[in-house]
Copies of this chain bind each other. A is one copy, B any other.
Amino acid sequence: MTSQELFANICRKKSFLCVGLDTDLKKIPQHLLNEEDPIFAFNKAIIDATADLCVAYKPNLAFYESLGVTGWQALEKTVNYIRENYPDQFLIADAKRGDIGNTSEMYARTFFQHFNFDSVTVAPYMGEDSVKPFLGYEGKWVILLALTSNKGSHDFQFTQDEGGERLFEKVLRKSQEWGSTDTLMYVVGATQGSMFADIRKVAPEHFLLVPGVGAQGGDLNEVCKYGLNSKCGLIVNSSRQILYAAKDETFAEAARCEAGKVQADMEAILRSNNLIG
């Protein structure tokens, strides 16, 4: 998918919502545990209930890996289900991988060939050759961690060098030598709302994937105030608040209701910024 196609989807759906499929057996409605594949049954219901309200889905790999082979199979089924039924969705493997070149190449093959994800989140610590193998696939994206939504982001990401540049800024600046606005996005946590102005100084054109709205406490309006650009430039993720809106048989309906609230807020924001008519 190109950035232009992604922006077109955003305008058509009046939404830049990503639903994070952080599916946890301990949190899904307990009646689903009788299903042959509870994880997939839950995901399918959530996807069917939200697909017209969002432009992206983001399974976090940790939740699937923790179940071993069973989880891996549920992930395969989920990705295939979205591809077949909602081909306009942007699919993000939230994997936060990154290794030496020949190993990153294996990870890229996993997420782009074995699975058919559009993008994968990558950790920048190991530098250029750990990121580049993910950039060699036509139409596929790297979403590089820049400024994350968690408390620990303050441990290293704000470290300032002798010239006053902070580590997350160096990641943003340096990585732009490796990919374009059609192959590279950045993770910027919603909990760092006011930092979006600084981010946009270094990366004005790139799409940003924004976790942390909802359960983690980030504010959508603040993110948009500083982060929106002329092609939207934002994909805002919500996971727990949508997935676990209800714990009984109404869970899919409740998830749709929560996603709908976020979509309505996004529509208003897109409209007031003249990005849609």
Contact = CB atoms under 8 A, between A and B. Distances in A.
Interface of A: 22, 24, 60, 62-63, 65-69, 72-73, 76, 94, 96-101, 103-104, 106-107, 109-110, 114, 123-131, 145, 148-157, 159-162, 167, 170-171, 174, 211, 216
Nearest to A101: B150
B62 A99 contact: yes
Contact of A159 (B24, B126, B151, B161): B161
Nearest to A62: B106
Contact of A150 (B106, B127, B211): B127
A270 B3 CA distance: 57
Given A155-B174, A156-B167, A124 B125 contact: yes
Contacts of A160: 161-162
B150 A130 contact: yes
B62 A107 contact: yes
B114 A127 contact: no
Contact of A152 (B60, B62, B126): B126
In the assembly, how many copies of this chain are there?
2
Contacts of A145: 125-126
Contact of A170 (B94, B152, B159): B159
B174 A63 contact: no
B66 A114 contact: yes
Contact of A66 (B94, B96, B107, B131): B107
B66 A110 contact: yes
A127 B68 CA distance: 26
Contact of A161 (B106, B123, B161, B171): B161
Contacts of A98: 96, 123
Nearest to A130: B152
Given A69-B69, A106-B63, A109-B66, A128 B151 contact: yes
Given A60-B103, A62-B110, A156 B131 contact: no
